[in-house]
Structure 1
């Protein structure tokens, strides 16, 4: 029985790693193909069949080029889009974390009437597609004559704040009640208990939710396309890439679009790699304690 059991375990282990490898390739291949396409010239992009690495059409030798990246960095619209996206994403994340942490502390640790309906209402707000609120929100912003950057920050709070509040509420709820009671015995106010005791303990959850909120604001396209239609200087990176025309007239700048997409994706990858331990800690803590 034991040899058969050992063989079965090895087969299951090999199958597990094989499936894991397929998933790994499936997830990374689009990013690899974007990098591969960004290092090709127009002639290399038109080669059939497509090559897995940049090759010279005449000799077949590997010959990558950085011309697409040079064109992208020379595009002022793209540079302005990066600046706008950075301002909007960081502002949205900061506001979502500040407001969401206050709300999560109240919903997770304080007692008040209507707590459960409030939680369900917050969860319901995340279920509406963006397109359903786009027209009404655009009319309100036009009536208030808000600048495009301000309107985007406030609009992104619609989907980042409910998510941040919901995740942080689960985390606050898992913290020991004894901490809150000890602070009350020592004479601390609820606000002092929040920012001196509870908030430092939520650092993993803050990093997790903050990073996810940042990614959502950085990648958002629909609101950005609509609200910057009358203010082109406020276009974010996704919109700037959509309007990308390239360096040559009447050319489909596929290589330059791929180069721009790679440059936009790199900051997100770096953030995830830097904060990966806190992200995992925040996700597991919320899952176990919530």
Structure 2
């Protein structure tokens, strides 16, 4: 490329990065402002204050935020593990076996993935209350599977199609059973795809708000996104903007850390499963 084109690409990339990161920078700035400094309309805080972080970690809001953070980690990790395990078997069957209804399964998974959550959360709320799953970890893990499992099946099936069929046949010729060939040959080769799928599924479950706010009522199972909507100020006339911003920053940190640590695996996994052959 010519120098002019390189400069244009750099300018375009810089504009996109600034556009994408500006909301995050704004939230970080608000989280570092004192309550009296938030209304001044300036981007940067006049004096950096850690009051909002102390409020949610050790202060009056800690009883709401810390249990929600624990619930989010536990529920999302369990939902991600179950989703990846089930999706691995389903994707293997779709990629390797020839049976009727294979396209119907993929179409159904896609339909479930795009189905609006708000349309089913009310009947699910009534059913959960009747069978005792309301405000429990399993009561959120099961709905989270409806969010993570379809995209996990779609993503993982692409990786299984890329694995040479001859490698599994060679293992069976050497005396391995179908299960042994799957466990010792297919799964290690599909590890990048499984890893990428797990991260995507965790992000989807971590960001859910509708299920968390409707299917919980106490800190027994309430996740962080739902807890953020329940923050309140010291009085009815005080808006807890700073505390919400500080909590949003802390909630975003695990996602940012995962992406920074495993960005090469994520990109490699997505590109390996994107092209057939």
Question: TM-score normalised by the shorter chain: which range applies?
Answer: over 0.9
Unaligned runs of 5+ in 1: 1-5, 56-62
Alignment of 1:1-290 (within 5 A): 9-47=2-40, 50-55=41-46, 63-74=47-58, 75-147=62-134, 148-229=136-217, 231-247=218-234, 250-289=237-276
Give 1:249 shift.
5.4
Query: Normalization by structure 2: what TM-score?
Result: 0.94
- Give 1:232 deviation, angstroms: 4.5
Report the alpha carbon displacement of residue 247 of structure 1 after superposing the two structures with TM.
4.3
Does the 8 A contact of 2:32 with 2:52 survive in 1? Answer: yes
The alignment partner of 1:46 has SS state of helix
The alpha carbon displacement at 1:115 in A equals 1.8
Cα drift, residue 23 of structure 1: 0.5
- How far is the alpha carbon of 1:201 from its aligned partner? 1.1
User: How far apart in 2 are the matches of 1:120 and 1:275?
Assistant: 30
Q: Secondary structure at the match of 2:140?
A: helix
Contact kept, 8 Å, 2:106 with 2:154, in 1: the verdict is: yes
Structure (1 or 2) with the larger CA radius of gyration: 1
The answer to whether the 8 A contact 1:207-1:275 is kept is no
Instruction: Give the total of aligned pairs.
Output: 273
* TM-score scaled by length of structure 1: 0.90
After TM superposition, give the deviation of residue 85 of structure 1 in Å.
Answer: 0.5
SS in 1 for 2:43: coil
- Which aligned runs of 4 or more in structure 1 are off by greater than 4 angstroms? none
Q: Distance in 1 between matches of 2:249 and 2:19?
A: 17
Shift of 1:289: 3.0
Structure-2 separation of matches of 1:122 and 1:89: 20
Residue 183 (structure 1) shift: 1.9
Instruction: Give structure 2 stretches of 5+ with no counterpart.
Output: none
Shift of 1:136: 2.6
CA distance in 1, matches of 2:233, 2:178: 56
Once residues 249 and 127 of structure 1 are traced to their aligned partners in structure 2, the CA distance between those partners, rounded to angstroms, is 38
Shift of 1:132: 1.9
RMSD of aligned alpha carbons = 1.6
